[in-house]
Amino acid sequence: MHRMQAEDRLEQLLKSFTNHDRSALARLITRVENRSPDASAIIERIYPMAGHAHVVGITGAPGAGKSTLVNRLIAEYRAAGKTIAILAIDPSSPFSGGAVLGDRVRMTDHYKDSQVYIRSLASRGSHGGLSRAAREIVKLLDAFGHDVIIIETVGVGQTELSIMDLADTTVVVTVPEGGDSVQVMKAGLNEIADIFVVNKADREGADRVKAELQLNVHLRSGNGWRPPVLMTQAASGEGIAPLLAAIERHRSYLAEHVDEAHEAERRRREFIEIFSAELEDRARRSLNGLGRARMLTGISAGTSNPYREARRMIEDMEALRALLADGREN
Ligand SMILES: Nc1nc2c(ncn2[C@@H]2O[C@H](COP(=O)(O)OP(=O)(O)O)[C@@H](O)[C@H]2O)c(=O)[nH]1
Ligand SMILES: [Mg+2]
């Protein structure tokens, strides 16, 4: 009875979502972010509607000016008549859902714009992993019909790198401060950059950082896309139009150079991630209900070998079938 009602409500929500109701979008995102029991069903349903947005990743050190840059890009995209969504991922943010693009940037103008959707995701409190949440939220934003989705992340750590895997076009933001280009290389950001930006070009040393990055690009082998190195002053808006033009050039490049092998590999990787995450969800939800109390007692007490128990569980077809079928009742 309860389940029926919940399903009806979900149907209603999905219908509103399809009719471009932004509060339905917000509520579906929250369900996915909190890993509510119907999160997987939601993504499965909206998946076929996604695949049209251009996903742009903006990454770089804290304080590099990413949010200021994003704010400028929003204005450019809006002037071009495009609908845009922002997913700001801030690992240091203690807030969830409320904090937006850092306190320094005032986005009130864009808030009022119904064609701009802004959402932030704090790594703390996001159940089931940050990159999974980011991937699914991007799918929702895409399926909703946004032309452009910008993901802002701090460019440190494996999680952030894996989130940039979601982007079609990755913009790495650096600053003239000493050694920033070296930090970029160390963090592996040079390998994922499609476009380099030296922001705060009003400051001393911007030319040098630009030269270092350009040298790095030239030393890269291959004759595919060569990441341009652009100078911007996000605070004043200088260099934003050329940045947008470069992003659009990269988008066209991607459209003209579809790498089928690369795409196939990316889809396979995505499938394995989805499959493993779904299995893990089910395992967590249903282990207690499997009549495995004794085994779990041994695990909890630290007296049994978790590797052996896991293998036994997988090899015990009956238990595995129960595990795979389960998860809905609980
Ligand atoms: N001098 C200068 N400051 C900038 C520029 N762009 C951004 N800032 C400032 O840098 C600080 C950090 O900006 P923010 O966008 O929050 O950086 P984020 O942490 O990378 O998102 C803010 O005080 C901005 O006003 C720029 O082009 N020149
Ligand atoms: Mg920011």
Q: Is residue 7 part of a domain?
A: no
User: Which tens digit of pLDDT belongs to each residue from 10-33?
Assistant: 999 999 999 999 999 999 999 998
Judged by DSSP in three states, 298 sits in helix
Q: Both 243 and 296 in a single domain?
A: no
Q: Both 158 and 293 in a single domain?
A: no
Domain limit, last residue, from 228, 257, 286: 257
What residue's CA is closest to ligand 1, atom 26?
A: 200
Q: Both 240 and 91 in a single domain?
A: yes
In the prediction, which pLDDT does 104 show? 40
In the prediction, which pLDDT does 73 show? 95
User: Which tens digit of pLDDT belongs to each residue from 233-254?
Assistant: 999 999 999 999 999 999 999 9
Q: CB of 130 within 8 A of CB of 38? A: no
Q: Is residue 23 part of a domain?
A: no
Residues 41-69: what's their mean pLDDT? 94
- Type of residue found at 65: G
In the prediction, which pLDDT does 329 show? 47
- Residues lying with their CB under 5 A of ligand 2, a single-atom ion: 66-67, 102
Q: What share of the chain is helix, strand, coil (3-state, %, to 5)?
A: 55, 15, 30
- DSSP per residue over 274-296, as a string? HHHHHHHHHHHHHGGGGT-HHHH
Check if 67 has its Cβ closer than 6 Å to any atom of ligand 1: yes
What b-and-e string marks burial along 53-75, b requiring 16 or more CB atoms within 10 Å of the CB? bbbbbbbbbeebbbbbbbbbbbb
Q: Which domain holds residue 198?
A: 51-257
Check if 217 has its Cβ closer than 6 Å to any atom of ligand 1: no
Q: Which is more confidently placed, 140 or 62?
A: 140
In the prediction, which pLDDT does 326 show? 56
Q: Which is more confidently placed, 263 or 127?
A: 263
CA distances from 319 to 231, 287, 310, 322, 324 (A): 59, 10, 11, 5, 9
Q: Which residue of 58, 59, 67, 68 sits with most ligand 1 atoms within 8 Å of its CB, as the best mutation to test the pocket?
A: 68
Domain limit, last residue, from 241, 257, 273: 257
pLDDT band at 8 (very low <50, low <70, confident <90, very high): confident
CA distances from 140 to 87, 105, 172, 229, 276 (A): 11, 25, 25, 32, 20
pLDDT band at 181 (very low <50, low <70, confident <90, very high): confident
In the prediction, which pLDDT does 233 show? 97
Check if 71 has its Cβ closer than 6 Å to any atom of ligand 1: no
Q: Which is more confidently placed, 37 or 69?
A: 69
Residue 1 has pLDDT above 90, yes or no: no
Q: How far apart are CA 153 and CA 91, in angstroms?
A: 8
Q: Is residue 41 part of a domain?
A: no
- DSSP per residue over 47-99, as a string? GGG-S-SEEEEEEESTTSSHHHHHHHHHHHHHHTT--EEEEEEETT---SSS-
Give percent above pLDDT 90 in the chain: 53
Q: Both 234 and 109 in a single domain?
A: yes
Q: Is residue 65 part of a domain?
A: yes
Q: Which residue in 274, 63, 59, 89 sits closest to 173, CA to CA?
A: 59
- Type of residue found at 14: L
Atom of ligand 1 nearest to the CA of 233: 27
Atom of ligand 1 nearest to the CA of 203: 1
Q: Is residue 121 part of a domain?
A: yes
Task: Output the CA angle 307-312-313, nearest 5 degrees.
Answer: 100
Q: Both 226 and 150 in a single domain?
A: yes
Residue 91 has pLDDT above 70, yes or no: no
Domain limit, last residue, from 238, 257, 276: 257
The bound ligand whose nearest atom lies closest to the alpha carbon of 90 is 2
Residues 68-89: what's their mean pLDDT? 94
Count CB neighbours of 222 within 10 A.
6
In the prediction, which pLDDT does 107 show? 53
Q: Is residue 30 part of a domain?
A: no
Phi then psi for residue 236, to 5 deg, are -100, -10
Q: Both 183 and 125 in a single domain?
A: yes
Q: CB of 58 within 8 A of CB of 152? A: yes
Question: And the tokens for 112?
Answer: 């009022």
Q: Is residue 137 part of a domain?
A: yes
Check if 102 has its Cβ closer than 6 Å to any atom of ligand 1: yes
Q: Which residue in 44, 33, 47 sits closest to 128, CA to CA?
A: 33
The bound ligand whose nearest atom lies closest to the alpha carbon of 88 is 2
* Mean of pLDDT over the chain: 85
The model scores a pTM over 0.75: yes
How many domains are contained in the chain? 2
In which residue are the tokens 């995209």 written?
77
User: Which tens digit of pLDDT belongs to each residue from 186-231?
Assistant: 777 888 899 999 999 999 999 999 999 999 888 876 778 999 999 9
